[in-house]
């Protein structure tokens, strides 16, 4: 039985090495250069998506298209539906109507358990880390969906399993280096400070080199310095891996700085979608969310 395993593992290794373990910068170039033209539909889009629970309409006929390789932010007041948007894209919520396009295929409801295979990755508002695992192990688990070896092969230390482990560890080290997490590699994530937890979650989301990265308030609860650092890491991910990024965030200043385009939601409707400049000067956005920039600059009257 071991020999049969060997045979299949040889075939599988060839397939595995051929596809997913291409160098990251090559991947980035491929994305930017027209690999996208081969897609039948958009990389990521919401088509007339409505989401209601009970009496509440979280999203109302939202149309949104994300261009490959861009950083596209989603902002809006509390309760505007930003997290719901991310949850719909990641398949945690199923829209009441409308379609979600992922990697050229449209879905009535994105299958969350297959999200990784579709090239989707995300972080959560409260870090959804596995507290009982170390930083490195969390990141490695982000790649678990690719494993072909079964528990027996792993327990016995068969070649396929060992090769998989080596590949996965190498990738994890790469990502930890990019996000400067190496010195925490063996620390239990449950014991880490909040900022590091968020960074670890980002690392885990980046590990499978996703096509689309969804970030749900990645800077929430951070100090100003931590926020700037996080923004750098997010940009680094896009530069290095060519990842398309959808970002929900409250810190408008930061968002204006780092995004290519910004969509604004209010009461579940999209009221604006354009470059930071366009959004900054959009009257509807100012009325609903930003407020008039000149008055109250010194905080008078608050």
Partner 1 sequence: MADFDYLFFLEVLTGGLLSGVMYSLVAIGFVLIYKTSGVLNFAQGSILLFAALTFVSLTEKGVPFALALAVTFAAMVAIGIAVERVVLRPLVNKPPITLFMATLGLSYVIEGAAQLLWGTQVHGLDLGIEDIPFEFHGILISTFDLFASGVAAVMVVGLLLFFRYTRVGLSFRAVADDQFAALAVGLRLPRIWATVWAASGLVALVAGLLWGARSGVQFSLSLVVLKALPVLVLGGFDSIAGAIVGGLIVGASEKLAEVYLGAFIGGGIEGWFAYVLALAFLLVRPSGLFGQNRVERV
Partner 2 sequence: MTTNALRPKTLPSWLLLVLILALAYAVIPLFGTGYLIEAIMLPFLALSLAGVGLNLLTGYAGQVSLGSAAFMAVGAFAAFNFNLRVDGLPLLVSLVAAGLTAAAVGIVFGLPSLRLRGFYLAVSTLAAQFFVQWALTKFSWFSNNNPSGVIDAPTIRLAGIDMTSSLGRYYFALIVVSLLTLFAWRVATSQTGRNFIAVRDNETAANFIGVPVLKTKLLAFGLSSFIIGIAGALWAFAYLRTVEPAGFNLDRSFQILFIVIIGGLATIRGAFLGAALIVVFPVVLSRVGSLVFGSMFDSGTLDMTQRIVLGALIIAFLILEPDGLAALSHRLRLWRQAPAPAS
Minimum CB distance to partner 2 smaller for 186 or for 283: 186
Q: Which of 22, 26, 156, 177 touches partner 2 by CB under 8 A?
A: 156
Per CB under 8 A, 144 contacts partner 2: yes
Per CB under 8 A, 155 contacts partner 2: yes
Per CB under 8 A, 131 contacts partner 2: yes
Per CB under 8 A, 121 contacts partner 1: no
The whole-angstrom separation of Cα 115 and Cα 228 is 29
Per CB under 8 A, 197 contacts partner 1: no
What's the closest the beta carbon of residue 301 comes to partner 2, in angstroms?
Answer: 43
Per CB under 8 A, 137 contacts partner 2: yes
Interacting positions 41-70 with partner 1 (CB under 8 A)? 53
Per CB under 8 A, 184 contacts partner 1: no
20 neighbors 209 (Cβ within 8 angstroms): yes
230 neighbors 198 (Cβ within 8 angstroms): yes
Per CB under 8 A, 124 contacts partner 1: yes
| Closest among 3, 9, 1 to 162, alpha carbons compared | 9
- Burial, 148: exposed, middle or buried (Cβ in 10 Å; 0-12, 13-18, 19+)? middle
Query: Helices 159-178 and 194-206, interaxial angle, to 10°?
Result: 130
String of DSSP letters for 71-115? EEEEE-STTSSHHHHHHHHTTSS--SEEEEEETTEEESS--GGGH
Q: Which of 24, 81, 98, 142 touches partner 2 by CB under 8 A?
A: 142
Which are the contacts of 191, defined by CB distance < 8 A and separation ≥ 6?
Answer: none
Cα-atom radius of gyration of the chain, to the nearest Å? 21
What's the closest the beta carbon of residue 126 comes to partner 1, in angstroms?
Answer: 9
The whole-angstrom separation of Cα 172 and Cα 113 is 22
Q: Which of 27, 72, 122, 199 touches partner 2 by CB under 8 A?
A: 122
How many of the other CB atoms lie within 10 Å of CB of 211? 23
Minimum CB distance to partner 1 smaller for 68 or for 268: 268
Q: Which of 5, 87, 121, 282 touches partner 1 by CB under 8 A?
A: 87
Minimum CB distance to partner 2 smaller for 205 or for 279: 205
| Closest among 118, 171, 181 to 140, alpha carbons compared | 171
Per CB under 8 A, 166 contacts partner 2: no
Binding site residues, partner 1, CB under 8 A? 53, 83, 87, 92, 124-125
Q: Which residues bind partner 2 (CB under 8 A)?
A: 90-92, 112-117, 121-122, 124, 128-134, 137, 140-142, 144-147, 149, 151, 154-157, 161, 164-165, 168, 186-188, 204-205, 208
């Amino acid at each position: 039985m071991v020999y049969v395993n060997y045979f299949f593992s040889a075939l599988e290794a060839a397939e595995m090495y051929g596809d997913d373990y291409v160098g990251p910068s090559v991947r980035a170039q491929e994305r930017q250069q027209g690999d996208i033209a081969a897609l039948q539909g958009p990389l990521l889009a919401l088509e007339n998506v409505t989401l209601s629970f009970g009496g509440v309409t979280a999203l109302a006929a939202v149309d949104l298209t994300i261009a490959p390789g861009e950083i596209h932010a989603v902002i809006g007041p509390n309760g505007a539906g930003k997290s719901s948007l991310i949850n719909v894209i990641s398949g945690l919520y199923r829209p009441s109507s409308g379609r979600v396009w992922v990697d050229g295929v449209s879905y009535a409801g994105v299958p969350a358990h297959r999200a990784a295979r579709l090239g989707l990755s995300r972080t959560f508002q409260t870090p959804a880390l596995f507290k009982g695992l170390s930083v490195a192990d969390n990141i490695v688990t982000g790649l678990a969906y690719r494993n072909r070896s079964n528990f027996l092969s792993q327990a016995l230390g068969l070649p396929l399993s060992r090769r998989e482990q080596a590949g996965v560890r190498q990738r994890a080290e790469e990502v930890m280096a990019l996000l400067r997490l190496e010195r925490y590699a063996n620390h239990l994530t449950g014991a880490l400070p909040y900022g590091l937890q968020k960074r670890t979650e980002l690392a885990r989301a980046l590990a499978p080199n996703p096509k689309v990265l969804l970030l749900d308030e990645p800077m929430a609860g951070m100090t100003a310095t931590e926020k700037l650092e996080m923004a750098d890491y997010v940009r680094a991910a896009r530069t290095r891996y060519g990842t398309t990024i959808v970002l929900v965030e409250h810190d408008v200043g930061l968002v204006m700085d780092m995004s290519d385009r910004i969509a604004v939601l209010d009461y579940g409707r999209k009221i604006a979608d354009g470059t930071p400049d366009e959004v900054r000067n959009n009257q509807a956005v100012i009325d609903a969310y930003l407020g008039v920039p000149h008055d109250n600059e010194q905080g008078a009257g608050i």
